[in-house]
Amino acid sequence: MLKPHPDFQRSARQVVVQILFFILTYLVLVLAGAALATACVLGGLALMMAIPNFFILLVGVGIIGLGLMVLFFLLKFLFHVNRQDRSGYIRIMEGEQPELFETIRGLATEIGAPFPKHVYLSPDVNASVFYDSGFWSMFFPVRKNLVIGLGLINTLNKGELKAVLAHEFGHFSQSSMKLGSYVYQVNKVIYNMLYDNEGFGKALNAWASVSSTFAVFAQITVSIVKGIQSIQKKMYAQVNKSYMGLSREMEFHADAVAAEVAGANNLITALTKLELGDASYQWVLNRCDGWLKDQQIARNFYTAQQYLLNRQNATGNWTTSFNRINCKDQWASHPPMEERVKALQALNRDKSADTGVAWDLLQQPESVQESMTSLVYRNGGVDTTNTSYIDLSEFSRRYDFEQEHYSLPAAYAGCYDGRPFSELTMEVILAAPPEKKNWEELCAADQATIYRRIIAAEQDIQLLQAILDKQVEITSFDFEGAKYQEADAAQIKAKIEADREEWKAALVDFDLQMARIALQKAKEIQREEELVNSYTTFLSVRDQFSNFEKDASYMFQLLEPIFKGESITIELITSMMVEHTTNREPAFKQYLKAFMEDGLYTDKPELSQKVQNYLNANFVYFANNQFFESEFNTLIELYRSTADLKQESVFEQFKKLLVLQLDLLSSPTPASAGLSGPLSTETAQPVAGTVPLN
């Protein structure tokens, strides 16, 4: 298993051929550049000696500078060093963490990889190997550094963590991956030569700023450099495309190494946990970021992430994909997860699962977690003075509150969860014919997945369109397990579009049927007016928010060039500001005024005061050739805060409607209506799921 697979060797040979061709072309360019530099130096000196005056002196120096700058551009990468940013890492020593180092040393020895130069801890759900590199590191050995994410340790057990670390060592094992490591380095050098030109640009600008004569030659230099880059970029695209193919094979090989050393089963379970672990960690970060406005910070991200992971595992809330298109992206550095799992299963290299807690490999894990949490806040520029801590009990309380608050009645079986209510009006609902179906039969598992199928269909359609537009280079793709050629993309796209429209219609039909069934039941028990009012209130609030979002989007589209920092003439800016303050901002203010009167800001006195001040003010945004940044910031802040509150209001009205609707549906029918008993005795209970992690 530690030997390279023939597919890896074949991919490596293809990359080597591409690189050799690139190097040959590059050497020709260097020779041409050296010849140009020599000619410029000799020509410039000869010109200055032949016509000794100040202007010719400048021209001669400009000619010499042109040749030397072109040659410098071609050779600058020889002196470039890529340095990994370590500011977000915590370096650990063997004396501090002996058991973890013992595990790392055992894996390195078994795989045949060198022991890391340094071992770092990072905050996220990841593990990686890095090193500072430059041109000369292709010829002299460079020791690698290992990075282990605390979010990863929090997500996996001991056996799974060892499998992930074994995968990382598999990338750089001396016995099998020398060529892959070399190709990786050459690829980085080529990239730096083409795209990392900040130093060269500064030198060129400094030269051009000396005199207008030098500026002319600097511009000529830029034109020559662009010509060189256009040649190199076309070739680099081919090199990088071949390298991506090799990179995917390297992933398969590293997986095989991990399977041999730590067990394919352990790596498979680790891979299946990574997405959930990362989503949980990001959820914690997002919530903690929101709490900063109240001067509250977390003491420990990782106890919160662990709590979230435990809740997710308890509810079995695993993500199911409904995408039906699968194709190999030639520019992807990693193969699809399904292919990796399938390849691992085919290896038949399972080992006993070590389900021990991965944190047991670290000494004083809680202290390490708290140190990393503090580092994340510092790197985020957060001033932690005058702040209060949110401990695990408070986090869990807030999480459980959100879970209950944002859950919909379980009796609907998820059919309303995570999706907008259909674009129905009260007139359409009332005019629909009576329904004779059982509402509990409508709330089926298949119905609950329809919205997710629509989203997946949208993604598949975009991918197929990219194939049709030649933005994705493939020869074939899979659709529902069958292989199709690129020429079939239009036909499959049309089929998926038809499915999407059918599913959209099914959602509308479901919402309409449920509303009609509930209205019929409400009429039987003399509560029809109550339900009609609830539907009317919800639809009104929803439509108001939708119109607000549309008009705000219209307003911000006008201002987008300013927010992006684009180069705009004074005349255009003035015209934009007139349009904004005359036509678009007044509509925005009308919404805020209406929301104020409806009591949207009642529980937010500070925000309410900001809104009132804004309504009373007359912002100009731009005057005397300068922008008033504070006014733009106020506009953005009020939009975001209002949109959040209004969206919350829409959800609350929607939940009230569904709770009332379920109460009516579950109420016993009066004997006079001719029914012997209730349709259902189930009451509205919060769903036992969780707030979506995204």
Write the pLDDT tens digit of every residue in 164-187: 999 998 877 644 455 555 666 666
Quick: pLDDT tens for 547-566: 999 999 999 999 999 988 88
DSSP string, 74-142: HHGGGG-EE----TT-EEE-TTT-HHHHHHHHHHHHHHT-PPPS-EEEESSS-EEEE--EEGGGGTS--
Q: Are 370 and 300 in contact (CB under 8 A)?
A: yes
* Residue 332: predicted pLDDT: 61
Q: Are 646 and 545 in contact (CB under 8 A)?
A: yes
To 5 degrees, how large is the angle CA 473–CA 475–CA 479? 105
Provide the greatest CA pair distance for the chain: 118
Per-residue pLDDT band for 318 (boundaries 50, 70, 90) equals: very low
Quick: pLDDT tens for 598-611: 999 999 999 999 99
Quick: pLDDT tens for 277-290: 999 999 999 999 98
Average pLDDT over residues 16-27: 81
Average pLDDT over residues 231-240: 74
Average pLDDT over residues 656-682: 70
> Distance between CA atoms of 215 and 208, rounded to whole angstroms?
4
676 pLDDT higher than 80: no
* Residue 174: predicted pLDDT: 46
* Residue 253: predicted pLDDT: 85
Quick: pLDDT tens for 615-658: 999 999 999 889 999 999 999 999 999 999 999 999 999 999 99
pLDDT above 90 coverage of the chain, percent: 58
Amino acid at residue number 76: K
* Residue 123: predicted pLDDT: 97
* Residue 14: predicted pLDDT: 79
Average pLDDT over residues 569-596: 94
- Rounded to a whole number of angstroms, the CA Rg of the chain reads 32
Task: Report CA 606 to chain centroid distance, whole Å.
Answer: 33
680 pLDDT higher than 50: no
More confident residue, 198 or 676: 198
Would the pTM count as exceeding 0.95?
no
Contacting residues for 670 by C-beta, under 8 A, at least 6 apart: 524, 525
422 pLDDT higher than 70: yes
Task: Please state which of the ranges 114-123, 211-220, 627-636 shows the lowest mean pLDDT.
Answer: 211-220
368 pLDDT higher than 50: yes
499 pLDDT higher than 70: yes
Average pLDDT over residues 194-214: 80
Nearest Cα residue to 247 out of 179, 174, 347: 179
Per-residue pLDDT band for 138 (boundaries 50, 70, 90) equals: low
The pairing of beta strand 145-149 with beta strand 133-134: unpaired
448 pLDDT higher than 90: yes
Average pLDDT over residues 540-553: 96
Per-residue pLDDT band for 432 (boundaries 50, 70, 90) equals: confident
Per-residue pLDDT band for 270 (boundaries 50, 70, 90) equals: very high
